[in-house]
Structure 1
């Protein structure tokens, strides 16, 4: 017996095997949007619907919930690395990208607190690796003598990011951004425009 869709939304059109890369990108984007609102417990069916594909397509790319959460976190970190590698990169600009991700994703905040990450959606080693990549990207942009790069306080940079991530709370993205920027200001750190990296 064929199960009918429970939603009033039309069934996504089959775009064929040539659409695999586009489908994967659409799923990662949809997962980021869904996770921002509903967290990592959001139903996978909602992610597939948001991406405009069937659940079978989702499972071909991501065999389980861990895999799609890992893909979203990997994309977050890749954007930060790309921002740091841009020709005109500045610490303020890269912190703007980091802050955008903090205000968009509770999962990303969890990543930056990798010491306390549970194994539920991603392995500790995976989270630690991504967190270290964020730190390396930020350090590439640290000007000589910056307060977050003091040789006698090597943990200050990521401690500041963790403190801001703890402040980035609230029911709306706007409120989370306001609180994150206030935290950076209290730390005496300049942050550029809060936006995703679009290279």
Structure 2
């Protein structure tokens, strides 16, 4: 096997382990036994620990991947005046899909140097959409990109739901309230196409 093929195989294995870890943590919480990930992924312990030496490194990798997905979406939406609200929508959907990881992320401190790069990537993704929405008159002028962790915490209040359906309903409601508060002259209802479909 060539070096490039080995790299591809390693990257694919890493992605598979992250997918499995996300499912395990969603079902059992972030303190679930790592052996569950090993078993569900069909790999040996050595394979998991080669990629992720400990639980912290695994959770950090999940956070980094989530931030990268957000940044990719931000680039795809860069031409839209409402990109900021669509990114908030996306953040709400991630909270619903990965409640354990979202709760873990919510409880980390921005001052913790282990997470500073991840937080900065999220803020960088939101900064241009914030400025564009403000120029278009869609967003209050005093909103800043570094308000995003606070907004994420507000949306994460929906994690109190006991079932997936309850979480979807609560996160959708929180999203509606947050959007109305951020939008100048917002109508009485929620912005169209943002709350009902968090798939």
**TM tier, shorter chain?**
0.7 to 0.9
**Larger helix share, 1 or 2:** 2
> Which ranges of structure 2 fall in alignment gaps of 5 or more residues?
1-5, 183-190
* Structure 1 partner of 2:198: 194
- Contact 1:167/1:179 (8 A) holds in 2: yes
Q: Structure 2 CA distance, aligned partners of 1:181 and 1:170?
A: 12
> Which ranges of structure 1 fall in alignment gaps of 5 or more residues?
1-16, 118-122
Q: Structure 2 CA distance, aligned partners of 1:140 and 1:168?
A: 28
- Contact 2:18/2:62 (8 A) holds in 1: yes
| Equivalent of 1:107 in 87, 90, 101 | 101
Are residues 138 and 194 of structure 1, via their aligned partners in 2, closer, same or farther at CA, if it must alter by over 3 Å? farther
SS of the counterpart of 2:32? coil
Listed as ranges, the matches of 1:43-62 within 5 Å are: 43-62=33-52
* Structure 2 partner of 1:14: none
Q: Structure 1 CA distance, aligned partners of 2:138 and 2:127?
A: 10
TM-score (norm 2): 0.73
Q: Report how far residue 29 of structure 1 moved.
A: 0.5
| Matched residue count | 172
Q: Structure 2 CA distance, aligned partners of 1:129 and 1:173?
A: 30
Q: Report how far residue 52 of structure 1 moved.
A: 2.4
Q: Structure 2 CA distance, aligned partners of 1:136 and 1:86?
A: 14
Q: Report the RMSD for the aligned CA atoms in angstroms.
A: 2.7
Are residues 85 and 170 of structure 1, via their aligned partners in 2, closer, same or farther at CA, if it must alter by over 3 Å? same
TM-score (norm 1): 0.73
